[in-house]
Structure 1
């Protein structure tokens, strides 16, 4: 087992603005502080700036200034290269990433480096062509755009991270910590990774994927004529509802209602009902101590077994694990008021 060297990309162009500081801090915390009682030598961490020369200052939106000893050339030869994130302008506005960075990532991969992205860093790996034909993930808010912009990438928005051997990607924010601990587990074994997790006061492995954090309510858009019937349906989730019931309430034929709802929400009436019921169940799990059997009844998902089946399939976690992950932080809800 060997730790090896870890090169983290950081500069004013990538990895430091706003919340990206959190993702930058994750590899620094996991790989940057020697843990000689767990493994000696520990990882050799390098922060590699994207400026023209090492030592260039990288001003962050938060007012911090980062200075690095290493540049992009130092990505080549590292055992592991990590791209924490890309700036919002590269995602929302389509601003191109620095060509020097893309070239350096390709050279590092060709040199045998294990390539890792955290959150939106997947866009950099995808731009370098390193995710073509591979499974990958990113923050769930950006996975649709990742799939649209890079159609050769097999994007999975339901997982916390993807390990595809020499290329690994994680979902957003704390999922980056899950992936970094996974790297420690791969490199140095489960005992070392578990001890690291204990010292950081985090789970060594979290159940489920990022699907448990995605809003599956699928609100209707651009069709105000559907709003009354959808509001009515949300108030009747504990009752058996059919497409015919919804269409009749909307004074439409079932075919017309199906077409209108699919155009407005991107999903079918039955899928819309299922997502609403899952959303109701999640609220009840977060805000009440009701047993799973009662939550299944109130959400319209039926038996406890049916509730568990749908949760595992669509949320990626059991109702009991979801309740443990999201302990009651909301005021207790009255089921009749939901």
Structure 2
């Protein structure tokens, strides 16, 4: 546990020896996976494949970035997949009435629902695992009530964000993801909120003695998770031109895997958004590689599940156990 005046993001993150080694190993793993798949499937190394891969990574990264702050505090958000779906459905249904204003409406609604998770958890002192497991189901029910099937819409703004490319090469989506990743890394490592997140994850009782507004920080973390899921939902809806009641389902496992593989311990206090960036790249490469080699969907799920278990094992604080608050 560090003093609040220190920067846990640096002390526990990129520049501490064990963490630096982990970052280096993960970077080498990204490069290694990319080259191995490329050697076996040369088309994978084409520029078109690279930018397509960047788009896949970007959507996953957006979902995982916000949830990283939740995990840094020793909690978990199991509702992220449902929040992605909620954003997409709200956008599609409200677009005929609000036009492009539906984008802001979908983001506002989804962010508010994310914040509500934090309010319930802190107000009633309930485990985040149970609350977000329940909200996952509630949100799924709400989205099915909104519409049990595809809802198509057309928006030039959403199309620009989701599928257009700058200079005909670089996806706008990738630029958005990179900018948000840089912002989140800076917030985690240099802001009062970031230091507070590490402090709460490292020891909530000590953080309370230091006078941290723990309740507000937790609510903010869940609101941020809802915000990034909302953006991802808007982008996914734009890519298919419709809201889909199942569009975000696959992101729960993938996002948790990206966070854990990136080195953020589910017990809290260790890791951060920088690791999540690398983790998202690793998970995307594994998924894409399995698809390229024709692996069955059930095998893909088995591999991802094993990756999550191994990542949690290697990031768990020894002697402290895995305590999800």
Normalising by structure 1, we get a TM-score of 0.23
- Structure of higher RCO (CA pairs closer than 8 Å, 6+ residues apart): 2
Larger helix fraction of residues: 2
Normalised by the length of structure 2, the TM-score is: 0.24
